[in-house]
Structures are given as structure tokens and as C-alpha cells.
Amino acid sequence: MKKEVMLKIEGIKKSFGGILALDGVSLELNEGEIVSIIGPNGAGKTTVFNILTGVYTLDEGSIIFKGEEIQNKAPIHIVKAGISRTFQNIRLFNDLRVIENVLIGAHLNTKYGFFSAIFRNGKFKEEEDREALRAIELLKAIGLDHRRDEYASNLPYGEQRKLEIARCLATGAKLILLDEPAAGMNPKESAELMEFIKKIRTMGYTVLMIEHDMSVVMNISDKIYVIDHGKPIANGLPEEIAVNEDVIKAYLGGVANA
């Protein structure tokens, strides 16, 4: 069966003042895959996500998502097109409850928007009830239902990461971008995270992940792209990347310079 290309990034370039943060990065992702981007600190990984989600405009190159050119579109357009992300440093609404955090994701995709998610207003009640039911289903599916009414700030770290991912899923997006989901996790939490990411794939989502934890990357990726100093240096299967000399050199260089 031929796989459907979901995302095609071609030759993207981006500089910030004098720094060439991305210099010709390309990437292809098929529907249903888990693909990882790795590389030393400052390689340009998060910049790829910022460009993909419309936070930054690119200087050159193109991005095609489900057949539509999306480069340089506004962030809200990109969410509605079906791409949602998490952040390297968790960004939750700490003073809101778990379910409310999920509802904010859901409301990005309705005509009523963000504020009606917070300031409940009778007029929007019907739509809200439907969204609330969906949010509860989602929390059940990812095993966070028992935390529904807790404040986000009270959740243990691993569950906060899960909640941030749940908020992405609630937007209705089918491509989920995870920026270092295992950062700060202990081995038990990152093992659970791996299972969780595999589970969301079975729920019909496609995952593009930036990650430094090599056990996570090597265990769950279908394909890995490596960038260093903004340049693509390799891509392939986990077992190919693990023995690639350019990749090893890039990481050893990082250690030597640290």
C-alpha cells in the first residue's frame, strides 16, 4: 500500500540577523508516521517548528501540508489546516483545570474562539456541551480523566506534558508537533511517554517530534532527520542513524565544545 505524503518541507532557509539558523532543510512525512528531528543544541530544530506553525516566516523554500502550500501563513490558519504543537517549555494555563485546558484547544477550532472557552456564556452553551463531551472522551482515551477537575499546576510533570499533548489533539489537528516531550522526565515517565505517543498514533494522529532522549527517539521513530548548525546532515531509519558517522561526529563535536 502506498503511503500518503502528509507534509513536505523543501529547502527551507531562515536567518536571524547574521545567524543562518536553517540552511536548506527538507523533510517528508507520511500519514500515520512518527518522525523525529534530532541534532545538537542550537541546530535549528525548534526553528523548524516555529516556521511550520507560522510563528516565523521563512526566507526560502516551501512547505506543503496535505497538498496546500502553508509557508508563511498565520498560526491560526495552520491550526485550522490541521497542525498543532507543544512547546519546549510546557505552556499550560496553570490556574485553569485540566478539562478547561483541553477545552481551550477545542475552541481554537470553533467559531466561538478562546474567550468563550473561559467565560462561559449561555449563548454558546450547546456548542460548549458538545465540546465538553469530546474533551472528556479525549481525557479518557489518554488516561487523564481522573484528573479532569484538578488545576493544571497540581499535576505531576509527566501528566502536564500529557495534558499539553491532549490540548493539541483537541484542536482537531491531525499532525502533532512535539518539542522535546521527554525533557525533564525520569526513565519511568519517558517509558510511559513512549507508550503514549504510540497510542496517539493508533488514534489516527501523525507525529513529528524533536527529542534529545535517544532511547525515546530510537524506539519509536519510523524515520529520523538530523540537522546540525542549520544544515541537514542525515536522514534514515533509526538503525541507520545510530551508526551514521556524520551524526556521531556532530554529537561528539557538541560534547567536545560543551
Ligand X SMILES: Nc1ncnc2c1ncn2[C@@H]1O[C@H](COP(=O)(O)OP(=O)(O)OP(=O)(O)O)[C@@H](O)[C@H]1O
**Nearer to ligand X among residue 21 and residue 176 (C-beta):** 21
38 binds ligand X (CB under 6 A): no
Kindly give the interhelix angle for 125-141 and 98-107, rounded to the nearest 10 degrees: 120
* Residue from 4, 19, 130, 146 in contact with ligand X (CB under 6 A): 19
Q: Which amino acid is at 219?
A: N
Please choose which of Mg ion, ligand X, none residue 42 contacts, taking the beta carbon within 5 to 8 angstroms, the exact cut-off set by kind.
ligand X
* Residue from 11, 24, 32, 42 in contact with ligand X (CB under 6 A): 42
Say what the alpha-carbon torsion angle 89, 202, 143, 82 is, to the nearest 10 degrees.
Answer: 50
d(CA 244, CA 68): 34
Please choose which of Mg ion, ligand X, none residue 16 contacts, taking the beta carbon within 5 to 8 angstroms, the exact cut-off set by kind.
ligand X
d(CA 172, CA 81): 9
> Residue 88: which H helix or E strand, with range?
none
Q: Which x/- pattern, by CB under 6 A, does the window 88-117 give for ligand X? A: x-----------------------------
Please choose which of Mg ion, ligand X, none residue 190 contacts, taking the beta carbon within 5 to 8 angstroms, the exact cut-off set by kind.
none
**Nearer to ligand X among residue 12 and residue 104 (C-beta):** 12
The cell for 255 is 560534547
Q: Is 1 helix (H, G, I), strand (E, B) or coil?
A: coil
> Segment 199-258, which members bind ligand X (CB under 6 A)?
none
**Nearer to ligand X among residue 16 and residue 157 (C-beta):** 16
Q: Closest separation between CB of residue 231 and ligand X, Å? A: 12
2, 9, 153, 195 from 5: Cα distances, Å: 9, 11, 38, 24
Please choose which of ligand X, Mg ion, none residue 193 contacts, taking the beta carbon within 5 to 8 angstroms, the exact cut-off set by kind.
none
* Residue from 6, 29, 45, 174 in contact with ligand X (CB under 6 A): 45
47 binds ligand X (CB under 6 A): yes
Spell out a b/e string for 149-184, using b for 16 or more CB atoms within 10 Å of the CB, else e.
Answer: eebbeebeebbbbbbbbbbbbbbbbbbbbbbbbbbe
Q: Is 217 helix (H, G, I), strand (E, B) or coil?
A: helix
**Nearer to Mg ion among residue 7 and residue 178 (C-beta):** 178
Please choose which of Mg ion, ligand X, none residue 217 contacts, taking the beta carbon within 5 to 8 angstroms, the exact cut-off set by kind.
none
Q: Closest separation between CB of residue 88 and Mg ion, Å? A: 5
Contact in structure between 93 and 101 (CB atoms under 8 Å): yes
d(CA 34, CA 131): 27
Please choose which of Mg ion, ligand X, none residue 177 contacts, taking the beta carbon within 5 to 8 angstroms, the exact cut-off set by kind.
none
> Segment 24-53, which members bind Mg ion (CB under 5 A)?
45-46
User: Under the rule (CB under 5 A), what is the footprint of Mg ion?
Assistant: 45-46, 88
Q: Which residues bind ligand X (CB under 6 A)?
A: 16, 19, 21, 39, 41-47, 88
